[in-house]
Structure 1
Amino acid sequence: MGSTSRWLDVEVGTNEIHLDSLPSNVVVADIHNDNEFKLVVGDFGKPNEGPKIKIFKGAMQMADMLLPDLPLGVVCFYASETSPKSAPLIAVAFSSCVYVYRNLKLFYKYYLPSIELNKSELDVWKQLKDPVNNNEESIILLTKKLSSIPTDVLSRQSLSFLALPMDQKLEYLDTIDEDPKKLQPEISCVTTMKLSSNDKHAVSCLVIGSESGHVDKAVILLKHGSTEGRHLFSTEEHIVAIEVMTFDNSIMVICCDKTLSSYTKKGKKQWWLSLEHRPVAMCLVPVLHLGVTLTAVALSSGHVYLYDGKIKRDTVFVRAEFNGQAAGVDLGNPSVGQKPWMIPKKSKLFLEQSMRERENATAMYETFQHDLNKLRLKVASTLIEAHTRSDNTLAVGDLESIKLAAETKSVVGLSVLFHLTTSYKVDTPYIKVPLLSPGCKLRFRTKIEEIFSENMNPDILFRSVTGQGGEGSMIKILLLKAGKCRPVLAANVQMPPTDPLLVPYDKMQPSGFKGDDVADF
């Protein structure tokens, strides 16, 4: 590249990033909907680690997710039209299933529908399992019948059996207990297709291609609602990648014979170019400020050619070492993970808190147990205090009857007891409560009389004004339970003074009071 190059020479730390992947497992997407595009790579991983999905921001790895199998394709797409826009989904294709991830967590699993096996194959396997045919001549004859069936409809068990030499086929039949089951199709490629709009946030659907055991070297046009595709054109060599230009719907194809070709939407070849090296990948590069769309072709030599039609506009060289030993990397002591990951602030706080908890686990546990014991002691003390007192205060107005209401759930053995001084007399000091059914309310009425002695001061009639009376004017009502020494409920009642107008005038004189005089209220 000369001094007038539009490209910057950027060196990425190859000692810290080790990836083993395919072009179909690499995609750039705004996975967090924050207008910051991340690199999503389906890495085959090392034998002791397994395959993973790795997320990169620049040259910094942000996150990774363990995969159950080797990835065949990775795509990102939007599945809903909610507002505000939700984060896109990441779809990873495996052998015969697709895993869909949302917010870097597994969201959905989809398995391709199985295919019924050929009846001829099942008949051959029934004969192979028959002990009568457990000889070399019969196996050779049945193997020929099995080989005559097209390979695209054969099960894995049959393909494995045909690949074995004759001396191992007998041993293989002894290890097989069941006949082959349904044929599970294998995914060969996956992509997305927008449903109704070409907007970058438009809803898309997954398009999955499965293999049938044959490579046709052809491009087929599929239309919605059609069960069969229309053949557009064929190529002499295997197709590496294909792209459709947005402005004229022309089709760009790179093949293994080092050619870049352009076809019309009707399948007619327009032109072709010979490439210097074997092409490995191709994609479209829209240049918005110029209003053009370039075609980027990556070659095995590390060069990336940018074409505007069949005119080469620019060249980018990507220097990458595909052999760790040739690059001077010590494979025995890998440096993966030495560079810190870019962790969000909230996640970083959570990790720091988790680290503190691990470092001070013993002290935190002892503190927790101490606080828990204090709480238990306080609860027990409060319960004992409430059980010991078993009372509350009830205030009533003048000339009011004492009312006690109880609502229980099927309780028996209750009784009401009046505890009072000699200044008062109760007609029924002990009331036995009948059976209380759930939701039932009972009311009991009794008459209380105040008794005046000879030495009584007339000012006691005005104790509501003078404040006299004290404990002598208190009546305690207890709710008792049979078999228990402590009351279930207690109430203290402050008795109102007797109305002086109800007492005759001669009774108001000190000489007029006698021990048996009673005032009702």
Structure 2
Amino acid sequence: MNKRVLKSVLAEEMGKRLWVLTLPANVMTMELMDYKTRGFKAIMVALDNCEVHVYNEKYLVNTIKTEDIVTGMKFGRFGREDGALVMTTKGGGLIVKILKRNSVFEEKDSRPGPPAAQNQKLNIPKKTKLFVDQTMRERENAVTMHRMFQRDLYRLRLDAARSYVKALETSMTPMSADPLEPLKLSATVNGIGPSFQLTVNLQNTSSATPSINLLITFQYDEKLYQLQRSSIKVPLLVPGLNYAFQTLVECISDKAIADTIKVFVLRKGKSMPIITGNINMPVSEAQVVV
């Protein structure tokens, strides 16, 4: 028996619709499963790959694996059990499967696939005059609109590349792009003013090489802020460890304004910073005079 027989038998036995099913192997035999106790009907198909598939209409609801190829099946009452499946195998064996009385039959496909909601029709609103006019405009000017989109996309990519190169050249990134100086910089500001505590964290991200002869300096508006330590000597940085360096920042302006403090990590004897960080200072609270 081949796969074409399954098509006609399903239409004859189920008496509903004609389903075209694709099976993983050739069909050996079939049997109608009519479980009247639960009002469940299905078709059982034995394949030559030692499997018995149970179909409810077009859905595969269960798969029974056997040790040998099943050549004959019969579902019905066997002894005191109403839901029993008796199967004979190609090698002369006999297999009896008894259906559990508390079995739950779900009319859905057990195979992984798209969700059932995908087959539901969408509630598409009616086309308005504005939608039709917009569609006609896009259809008439499709080439021009596509060229404008490509031009804007290329310009965006160019601006992003230029900004990235500028950040690398000025060391404005929180991580060093130089493989010889693999450093990571982060900073935090604590306090409500006029005194703030500025903490700079440095980490050597290399695997084995320590960092030496480093210096931390700051650039700020001297009319707004005054730093306790304008430069900090960095000791040897062991790879993988986080080092914290602190300094006090005093807001000397009575105006409710804030500015940015730049942090530079330099190597002694070189003017080009390895890393540059921008710290947005908060607005200082007014001084309380007692």
TM-score, normalised with respect to structure 1: 0.25
Pick the structure with greater CA Rg. 1
TM-score, normalised with respect to structure 2: 0.40
